[in-house]
Amino acid sequence: MPRYKLTIEYDGRFFNGWQSQPDAKTVQDTLQAAFLKLCKEPVSVIGSGRTDAGVHALGQVAHVDLPKAYPTEQITGAINYFLKHKGAVLLKAEEIDYNFHARFSATARQYTYKIMNRPMRLTLDEGFYWHIKKELDIEAMQQATSLLVGHHDFNTFRSNRCQATLTMRTVDFLTVEKIDNIIHIKIQSKAFLHNQVRIIVGTLKLVGEGKWTVQDVKEALHAKDRTQGGPTAPPEGLYFTKVFY
């Protein structure tokens, strides 16, 4: 069975997250339904990682084993035909070695979190940013990022529903940039805990508001306790941008 690497973009507003579910529309189920139409038999699409409901992806990666070989243009053509009006698109399909595994072969994952920092409500950008009215202190947020880069126990920064047994993770970089009213928070790690990016962003927001000091972030990290971390930032500002192999 030939294996294919898939690069997928999706609008998080259309889906109840990546992971297959019996009673909700998910990206994985939607892709599998499209492949069923192409191949006339069920296949499993294995993602590089789950995304929660409302989270967007510009470069999610998955792999799929098909019952027979197809030209990659036929795969993208057919799958994108079946995905029409469903909020997702297959950007690329590539033949790949059977040793490739979308989840286990990944060496780094990148996310961008977008904040619109202005007093007035959003119009065009609604659903694509976390809207924060009060002006955030970017320099303070940037100072706090340095504490979270590197190899740490991120137990404070993971959802109570996180199923990982080990909570040590290595953050390769974490940057905060502001252009006009738009703040971009970019982060890379080999792997993330459940909600890790959104809890980091929620914590940085407390620093940006002046409610927390940089020292408070340090103590939260060292506490290794979810109740000591900031809130989970809403999903609509989060973009899964890239996976490296």
The site for its own copies (CB under 8 A) is made up of 9-11, 14, 56, 58, 76, 80, 84, 87-91, 118, 120-124, 128
Instruction: Write the burial class of residue 26 (CB in 10 Å: 0-12 exposed, 13-18 middle, 19+ buried).
Output: buried
Report the residue number, 159 or 241, with the smaller CB distance to its own copies: 241
Report the residue number, 115 or 144, with the smaller CB distance to its own copies: 115
> What minimum distance in Å lies between the beta carbon of 88 and its own copies?
6
> What minimum distance in Å lies between the beta carbon of 11 and its own copies?
4
Q: What span, in angstroms and rounded, lies between the C-alpha atoms of 194 and 240?
A: 13
> What minimum distance in Å lies between the beta carbon of 12 and its own copies?
8
> What minimum distance in Å lies between the beta carbon of 115 and its own copies?
17
Catalytic residue among 11, 23, 29, 52: 52
Q: Is 52 a catalytic residue?
A: yes
Report the residue number, 120 or 166, with the smaller CB distance to its own copies: 120
Instruction: Write the burial class of residue 185 (CB in 10 Å: 0-12 exposed, 13-18 middle, 19+ buried).
Output: buried
Report the residue number, 144 or 238, with the smaller CB distance to its own copies: 238
Catalytic machinery residues: 52
